[in-house]
Amino acid sequence: MQAALVDRAKQGDKEAFDALARMVGDRCMAIACRILRDTDLAEDAVQSALITAWRELRSLRNSDRFEPWLHRILANACYAEARHRRRWSSAIGVLPVELGASRDETLTVDIRDQLERAFRRLTAEQRAVLVFHFYVGLPVPEVADRLGIPLGTAKSRIHHATSALRASLEADARTPSQERTA
């Protein structure tokens, strides 16, 4: 069904593209929100990605690959939004990401706070590989494929990003007495 909508949208059918956007929009929002950690920026990134997708849709060879193709555009839109935010970040305070209804009880407030801080220190490119691997659930070769990066680069980014997050968790788990004796 999705491929049929893509084919119609390629012919300039705006209704078909609108239906397609509504089919994939929530998933795009979830990915962008997790990469950017900011709802407004995520909305801007998804909007930009969908408009780019409409404009460039005829360059998509395989209509069955619409969503992976869109995710790559979305990742690039997120990088662009992250760069813009970095440019103005000195003047903007960081708001905590909205947890919505999906709050996980296994995460304590401290752990969530540590992960949030560590995650925000990662580059947008590192966050993207984590999101596609841990949240979307893609194996590393597919993450590399989806983001258009070499497999080695994807592995390296995941390694460095997870190491940074693990380090933050270990720092949190360390008791003050352990720190004094270390």
Q: Which residues bind other proteins (CB under 8 A)?
A: 10, 12, 14, 17-18, 21-22, 25-30, 33-34, 39, 42-43, 46-47, 50-59, 61, 72-73, 76, 79-80, 87, 97-100, 102-104, 106-107, 111-112, 115-116, 119, 125, 130-131, 134-135, 144-146, 148-150, 152-153, 162, 165-166, 169-170, 173
Q: Which is nearer to other proteins, 98 or 180 (CB)?
A: 98
Q: Which is nearer to other proteins, 1 or 101 (CB)?
A: 101
Radius of gyration over alpha carbons of the chain, in Å? Answer: 19
The least CB distance from residue 140 to other proteins, in Å, is 13
DSSP structural state of residue 95: P
**Could you give the CA distance from residue 146 to residue 75 in angstroms, rounded to a whole number?**
9
The least CB distance from residue 170 to other proteins, in Å, is 5
Q: Count the Cβ atoms, other than its own, within 10 Å of residue 43.
A: 15
Map tokens 């593209």 to a residue: 17
The least CB distance from residue 37 to other proteins, in Å, is 8
Q: Could you tell me the CA-to-CA distances from 155 to 147, 162, 166 in Å, in that order?
A: 12, 11, 16
Nearest CA-CA partner of 46 in 21, 65, 83: 21
Q: What would the two tokens of residue 58 be? A: 């005829």
The least CB distance from residue 87 to other proteins, in Å, is 7
